[in-house]
Amino acid sequence: MNVAIYCRLSDEDRDKLSEHDDSASIQNQKAMLIKYASHNGWTIHDIYSDDDYAGTDRNRPEFNRLILDARARKFNIVLCKSQSRFTRELELVEKYINGLFPRLGIRFVSLVDSADTDNKGNKKARQINGLVNEWFLEELSDNIRSVLTSRREQGYHIGSFAPYGYMKDPAKKGHLIIDPDAAAVVREIHALFLAGTGKQGICRILNERGVPNPTEYKRLHGMVRNKHVQSSPLWSYFTITNILTNEVYIGNMIQGKSGVVSYKNQEKISYPQEQWIVVKGTHEPIIDQETWDRVQALIAEKATPAPKEPEGMFARKVRCFYCGSRLRSVKSGNKRGFKCERHSLSHDACIGAYISLRKLERIVAAQLQILSEELLDEELLENGVDPFADLHVQEEEMETTIKRLNRSIEQDNFAMRSMYMDKVKGIISESEYIEQSVKVTEEKIAFEKQVTELSEQLTQIQTTIAIHENKKLITSQYVGTRKLSKEMVSVLIDYILLGRTDTLTKETPVEIHWNF
């Protein structure tokens, strides 16, 4: 009997020797289960251990590996300390313990609550355990949510990390104190903005000085839980915007902006502003009220309506040829264009790309016209000439040949059956049967190989024809259209790569990736 041992711990470890060691609780679970398996004479296939994962988390890596190995029938017993270690969801109890495992001939055993799928009278107990676990989770979730809401309403900070510019007060849980180094950067950002420097300009100043952005600052100070996650160290437009508009910097605590659907569905949802929990004067401000008011007034003054057509025509379609980042819409006087955002943040990060909106429109329209002419040669169409006629002929010839070969294969199958019956009846000898069957088998294999090769070629030809027909169908809708529209760009273009304009030729590298 091959047994898979599954262990899980949801509480955050506090007794690990290192980040790679299992906690004492996991070690105890393993020891108990190994002893039980050994006592019963079971061979341990593998030990699956999820540390720091909740029983409702369906993305547990070891849990999912166990399910995959179960489907591959690598073991015939799953052993846990308790059913709740495997899952706390009644849905998963029914799906796996009472559904998948019995179909695969896998026995589920848990020690503490005596769940055992080999015991036919045990199913109701397992279902009751699952139901009780569901009730426990729901009640626990409601209690935690209630406690967190109460603490937020009292002005306590709830979160894994303090906002940039602050740090958690070691002497008072839920209270923020100023982080001098980060707070100095927050003050500088507000000062630069009031002095007339735009948000992109502030990004460039900080990036060129090598000032770490909030995420990089946390990483450098050991505050990032997952050290393997890579993130850009550069300041961005949105980070600066958040710092300039976040009331936490004038001493106000604003929380409860988002949450999850339920304890079973961890999808994040945003709450309307009237549901936010706002408590004023909870901690020492970094920015005084007068500075804050001036900054908000300047932001309101600079605010402009969202761009309309044709500015929004290429929204999210234009990328930098060199770094791949999305080009940002920019305006200089009455002239609009697209500029590499990464280059705007730091000139050292990318050599940058720029093109005016009018120039881009002209290039795309010209490329579309060339494409239409290639696909829809009116003179050829009027004379009934199909540019893909040769491919259609090849398609028909291959289909005919494949049908003929399949008939030959069926004839060989019939011949094999006839020869076997002749051998059974004594019409031909064993040696004659072997000799003839070898010849027919070799012939059949050769036919089958030809069918495979021709089928692959036929698929390629049919794909080529289908792509061409699809191109014609799509582009024919816009033939004769003199002006680009957002609909045309959306339908026809996947994305556009733009390079830096050559100073001598004034040519801008443009690479259009069509949607077909």
Q: Which CATH number is 223's domain given?
A: 3.90.1750.20
Q: What is the CATH number of the domain that holds 416?
A: 1.10.287
Residue 218's domain comprises: 166-302
pLDDT, residue 319, reads 87
State residue 165's pLDDT score. 92
Q: 158 lies in a domain?
A: no
Claim to verify: residue 170 and residue 87 sit in the same structural domain: no
- The CATH number covering residue 81 comes to 3.40.50.1390
* 483 in any annotated domain: no
Q: Which span out of 78-92, 139-153, 298-312, 460-474 was modeled with the highest average pLDDT?
A: 78-92
71 and 132 co-located in one domain:
yes
Cα 334 to chain centroid, rounded: 39
- Stretch 419-437: mean pLDDT, rounded? 83
385 and 369 in a common domain: no
Q: What residues contact 278, with CB distance under 8 A and at least 6 apart?
A: 247, 252, 253, 254
At residue 217, does pLDDT exceed 70? Answer: yes
Distance CA 187, CA 424 (A): 98
| 92 and 141 both lie in a single domain | yes
CA atoms of 155 and 175, how far apart (whole Å):
8
pLDDT at 69: 94
Nearest Cα residue to 28 out of 85, 76, 70: 85
Residue 247 resides in a domain:
yes
pLDDT digits (tens, 9 = 90+) for 75-134: 999 999 888 888 878 778 888 988 899 899 999 998 887 788 888 666 555 556 655 556
Both 24 and 136 in one domain: the answer is yes
Residues 138 and 273 in one domain: no
Are 87 and 210 in the same domain? no
Helix boundaries (H) for 282-388: 289-302, 341-345, 357-375, 378-382
Q: For residue 305, say if its preceding peptide bond is cis, omega within 30 degrees of 0.
A: no
pLDDT band at 423; cut points 50, 70, 90: confident
For range 150-170, the mean pLDDT: 84
358-365: Cβ within 8 A, 24+ apart: 359/508, 360/314, 360/318, 360/496, 360/498, 360/510, 361/310, 361/313, 361/484, 363/508, 363/510, 364/484, 364/489, 364/493, 364/496, 364/510, 364/512, 365/482, 365/483, 365/484
Instruction: Verify that 218 and 324 share a domain, yes or no.
Output: no
Residue for token digits 């004839």? 411
Contact 364, 493 (CB under 8 A): yes
Do residue 124 and residue 224 come from a single domain? no
**Domain-embedded: residue 326:** yes
